[in-house]
Amino acid sequence: MVRTPIIMLLLVLLAGVGGVQSTLEAQNFRSDDPVLRQMWVEGMERSQVEPLSQVLMDSIGHRLSGHPGFDASADWLIEMYREWGIEVRRDEYGTWRGWDHGWLHVDLIEPRMQTLRAHFLAWSPGTDGPVEAEVVMVPDFGSPAEVEPWLAGIDGKIVLASPPEPTCREPQTLERLARPETVQGIAAQRNGLRQSWNRRMQMLGQGGIGRIEDAGAVAVLTSRWSEGWGVNKIFGTVTEQVPSLDLSCEDYGLLYRLVDNDQGARVRIDAQARDLGTVPKYNVLAEIRGTELPDEVVLLSAHLDSWHAATGATDNGTGTITMLEAMRILQEVYPNPRRTIMVGHWGGEEQGLNGSRAFAEDYPEIVEKLQAVFNQDNGTWRVDYIQAQGLLGASAHLARWVAELPTEISGHIELDLPGPQEVGGSDHVAFLCYGAPGWRLQSHYPEYRQYTWHTNLDTWDKIVQDDLRNNAVLTAMLAYLASEDPEFVPRDRALLPINPQTGEPRNWIPCRSPRRSF
């Protein structure tokens, strides 16, 4: 396996091409290809990524599976593609649970007044008007015999159902400024709280939250801190009959301490949500038809759906806009490609790559003829790493395409050839598992998992527009180069890294069927 900085690769592949000219343009481009130069002008000087991203994130908002926001975003994509003269369609692959939400007000009313920061868990029921109730927690049961008496006493109450955090300070700040003994003490306290909570939930037995609902609780409150300032990860409902709400790390800790110290915590909840029944799930597919090899396909890939606590800006609004803008550039500069260039805006990625897996399962003839898949789903920042995903012969094609890019783009990219292969991650694996060249255009994101991935802070302001422009131009150029390649990309596989359990090379990633209903 060779991990090669692209600048070294360029020097090797392009030695002897000609003397270095003194202009900035010559430093930018190592190829005389006029299409690449036109793509640079179209994507860098006439970029549409900022207004497009503003509409998607600010005006349309989140795109949760089954939520009207997903439909609105699909309608908008279709409108844009049609405006640009690109063929586009919806492609249904299943159904999901339809859900919409309105306002959510959660207030501490005793022993004092304070508005609490709360979010619905996805697909949660609401309340029938405002509800006021005492707050209790799942206790540290001494024996299973104590469970039923406790359940009998929670009718009409609000239940805390996850462990609190001893501090909501981001760990890197704590480690930098606190004494080592303090850091160790907080870690021990956190572990103790989590172990205690695991015991409590185990005592409740199978279907613990369901038992809390059945016992008459009026709401269940949880908190899933993402180890940063004011940030939580927020996923799906844990209840079917009463509201499931996430509270911020700080506010959840406040309620926990009030209850733990018997200080009479009461909360008022007004939660507006609607079950919309069963709704269709689909992908949005657009294509620029090939002129010479129309059955061979270069596929641009990004999931359109998001979680709902923010606006899904970096997961995966940035990937969506990258592919949308790349298709606009291609239509402007390269409207008659050699091979078909298609884009898939997938639904249901957050529930298990469902949209892309359904497409791969439903269209085996396209998967068989995939020349390349370029997927983006990893926050903001410019693409700086591409792994060939264990494909041996394909690595040379990928390297050659990247070598033709302007150094303003390629100089930041590290190639990993043939690469150890990812075992999960994003929609490219829905195609890679069949042996197709599915590649992820990755960005460095040290803060992504902590601050924007599936959180309440994933909003438009986190996007770096300069890098979004870079990524769209990169994608358009790679699609063009893959389309024009004189050869079909081979699918021979390298030996993967050793599986320590068997002492043999790890198996190729398996294909899985999509989940087509809620």
According to the model, what pLDDT value does residue 4 have?
46
How far, in Å, CA of 419 to CA of 403, rounded?
Answer: 18
Where is average pLDDT lowest: 19-23, 327-331, 375-379? Answer: 19-23
Reduce the secondary structure of 152-208 to three states and give it as a string. HCCCCCEEECCCCCCCCCCHHHHHHHCCHHHHHHHHHHHHHHHHHHHHHHHHHCCCH
For 289-318, what is each residue's pLDDT tens digit? 999 999 999 999 999 999 999 999 999 999
Q: Write down the mean pLDDT value for the chain.
A: 94
Q: Could you tell me how many residues make up the chain?
A: 518
What pLDDT, in 10s, does the model give residues 124-176?
A: 999 999 999 999 999 999 999 999 999 999 999 999 999 999 999 999 999 99
User: What pLDDT score does 380 carry?
Assistant: 86
Q: Any alpha helices (H) in 41-144, and if so which ranges?
A: 49-54, 68-83
Q: Is the pLDDT of residue 518 over 80?
A: yes
Residues 465, 451: Cα–Cα separation, whole Å: 18
pLDDT in tens, 423-468: 878 999 999 999 999 999 999 888 999 999 999 999 999 999 999 9
510: which DSSP letter? Answer: P
* Burial category of 269 from C-beta neighbours within 10 Å (exposed 0-12, middle 13-18, buried 19 and up): buried
Q: Domain coordinates of the chain in residue numbers?
A: 2-15+24-97+278-484, 112-264
Residue 206: pLDDT band with limits 50, 70, 90: confident
Q: Which amino acid is at 436?
A: A
- 159 near 136, Cβ under 8 Å? yes
The reported pLDDT for the residue numbered 14 is 41
List beta partners, residue 244: 220
Give the pairing of strands 244-247 and 118-120.
antiparallel
Contact status, residue 327 vs residue 369, Cβ threshold 8 Å: no
Q: What is the spatial distance between Cα 174 and Cα 193, in angstroms, rounded to a whole number?
A: 19
pLDDT of 15 reads: 39
**Architecture of 2-15+24-97+278-484 per CATH?**
3-Layer(aba) Sandwich (3.40)
Q: How far apart are CA 77 and CA 149, in angstroms?
A: 55
Helices (H), 205-273: 208-214, 249-260
Are the C-beta atoms of residues 91 and 359 closer than 8 Å to each other?
A: yes
DSSP 42: I
Position 25 scores a pLDDT of 57
Both structure tokens of 517: 């209903």
Whether CATH 3.30.70 fits 112-264? no
Average the pLDDT over each of 28-32, 321-325, 426-430, 470-474 and give the range with the smallest value: 28-32
Confidence of residue 267 (pLDDT cuts 50, 70, 90): very high
pLDDT tops 90 at residue 1: no
Decide if pLDDT at 17 tops 90. Answer: no
**What is the helix (H) or strand (E) element at residue 36, kind and residue range?**
helix 34-40
pLDDT for 310: 98
User: Which residues 6+ apart lie within 8 Å of 501 measured at CB?
Assistant: none
Phi/psi at 106 (5° precision): -130, 120
CA dihedral of residues 275, 276, 277, 278 (deg, nearest 10): -130
371 pLDDT higher than 90: yes
HSE of 518, CA atoms in CB hemisphere, 13 A: 20
Q: What pTM value is reported for the model?
A: 0.93
Which of 243, 256, 239, 284 has the alpha carbon at shortest distance from 73? 284
Residue 221: phi and psi, rounded to 5, are -110, 135
- With 0-12 / 13-18 / 19 or more C-beta atoms within 10 angstroms meaning exposed / middle / buried, residue 315 is buried
Give the containing element (helix H, strand E) for 150. Answer: helix 147-152
161 Cβ contact partners less than 8 Å away, ≥ 6 residues apart:
137, 138, 201, 209, 212, 220, 221, 222, 238
Give the C-alpha separation, 154 to 323, whole Å: 51
Q: Which residues touch 295 (CB under 8 Å, ≥6 apart)?
A: 340, 365, 369
Q: Which two tokens stand for residue 123?
A: 């697909």
Mean predicted confidence (pLDDT) in 251-262: 98
Instruction: Give the burial class of 383: count Cβ atoms within 10 A of its Cβ; 0-12 exposed, 13-18 middle, 19 or more buried.
Output: buried
